[in-house]
Chains A and B, each alone.
Chain A
Amino acid sequence: MAGSIYKKPILFAIVVTFTVLSGSIVMMLLPMMSDSMHPKLSTLKPYTPLQLAGRDVYQENGCFYCHTQTVRPLKAEVMRYGEYSKAGEFAYDQPFLWGSRRIGPDIAREGGKYNDDWHYKHFNDPRAMFADSNMPAYGWLKDYTLDPQGMEKRMKALSFPCTPADLQALAGKTKLDALVAYMQTLGSAVPRKAEAAMIAQGEKNPLAGNADAISDGRKLFETNCSACHGINAKGGIGPNLENNEWLHARSDETFFSIIANGTTAGQELEGGKKTKGGMPSWHETLDKKKIWSLVSYIRSLKGK
Chain B
Amino acid sequence: MADDSVYEWRAVKGFCLSGLFWGAVSVLIGLFISIQMWKPELNIGPFLTFGRLRAVHTNGLAFGFAVAEIFALSYYMVQRLTRRRLLFPKLAVVQLYIFNAAILVAALSLLAGFTKSKEYAELEWPLSIGVVILWVMFAVNIFGTIIKRKEEQMYITLWYLIATVIGVAVVYIVNNLSIPVSLTKSYSIYAGVNDANVEWWYGHNAVGFVFTTPILAMFYYFLPKSTGLPIFSHRLSIVAFWSLVFAYLWTGAHHLVYTPLPDWIQTVGIAFTMFLIAPSWGSVVNGYYTMGGNWDKMKSNYLTKFFIIGITFYGLQTLQGPTQGLRVVSQLVHYTDWVIGHVHMGTMGWVAMTVGASMYYVIPRIYDTEIYSIKLADTHFWLVLIGQLIFSISMWILGIQQGSMWKAISPDTGSLTYTFMEQVTANYPYWKVRTLGGAIFTVGLCVFAFNIVMTIVQAKKNQASAAAAGGR
Contact = CB atoms under 8 A, between A and B. Distances in A.
Interface size classification for chain B: 35 or more
A20 B163 CA distance: 9
A96 B154 contact: no
Interface in B151-179: 152-154, 158-159, 162-163, 166-167, 170-171, 174, 179
A15 B433 CA distance: 47
Interface stretch (B125-133, B214-222, B407-415): B407-415
B194 A24 contact: no
A59 B192 contact: no
A132 B114 CA distance: 30
A206 to B, nearest CB: 15
Interface in B138-153: 143, 146-147, 149, 152-153
Interface in B51-87: 51-52, 54-55
Contact of A154 (B119, B171, B181): B181
A133 B421 CA distance: 7
Contacts of B331: 72, 74
Contacts of A110: none
Contacts of B5: none
Contacts of A66: 50-51
Contacts of B468: none
Contacts of B154: 6-7, 9, 12
Interface stretch (B18-26, B195-203, B293-301): B195-203
A287 B256 CA distance: 32
Interface in A56-102: 56, 59-66, 68, 70, 72-77, 79-80, 85-87, 89-102
A12 B162 contact: yes
Contacts of A223: 419, 421
B135 to A, nearest CB: 15
Contacts of B408: 76
Interface residues of A, number: 90
A91 B49 CA distance: 30
Given A28-B197, A157-B187, A133 B249 contact: no
A184 B21 CA distance: 43
Among B45, B118, B336, the one with the most A-chain Cβ atoms within 10 Å of its Cβ is: B45
Contacts of A56: 185
A20 B167 contact: yes
A96 B119 CA distance: 11
Nearest to A158: B187
Contacts of A139: 45
Given A19-B246, A28-B201, 4 more contacts: A7-B154, A12-B159, A98-B259, A158-B179
Q: Which 3 A-B pairs have the closest CB atoms?
A: A62-B51, A23-B249, A90-B192
14 contacts: A16-B159, A17-B166, A23-B250, A27-B253, A37-B193, A38-B194, A65-B54, A79-B416, A90-B196, A96-B192, A130-B421, A133-B40, A153-B182, A285-B415
